[in-house]
Structure 1
Amino acid sequence: MQAYPDRCALRGPGRSWTYTELDRRVRRLAGALHERGVSVRWRTTSAPACAPSAYGPTTPSCSRHR
């Protein structure tokens, strides 16, 4: 990222992100998860935007609540 911050890092349908843009979005997401009590030691997963909870812990006790 440091060598080529303006190069394309991720491309999707009709949208692309540079390494700098992707880094900002990931850090914002990490901050939001941290504010909600998610620890750096937790494993999380992403789901489609239509899912009831787009991000959440993957611990077995939480799986049944999704």
Structure 2
Amino acid sequence: MVSQTLEEVSKCKRAGVLINTFMLASDYGLVQFVQKVTEMCRGKAYFTTPYTLGQYLLMDYMSRKTKTIH
């Protein structure tokens, strides 16, 4: 299933589709997956938890920056 999803991400990248993700969880495996997808398509990923909705980590692969937003 993961490999099929990554293949779809590759198709999106080739078609010029930008994928940005907002992740509301802290599962390590899922974080790695979202990072991989975001890196592949050069998009943005926003990470937070239900307990820290006002704060998030932004990983921006377009500008190659990571920052914490409060």
- Give TM-score, length-normalised by structure 2: 0.23
Q: Which one has a bigger Cα radius of gyration?
A: 1
- Give TM-score, length-normalised by structure 1: 0.23
Larger relative CO (CA 8 A, sep 6+): 1 or 2? 2
Which is helix-richer, 1 or 2? 2
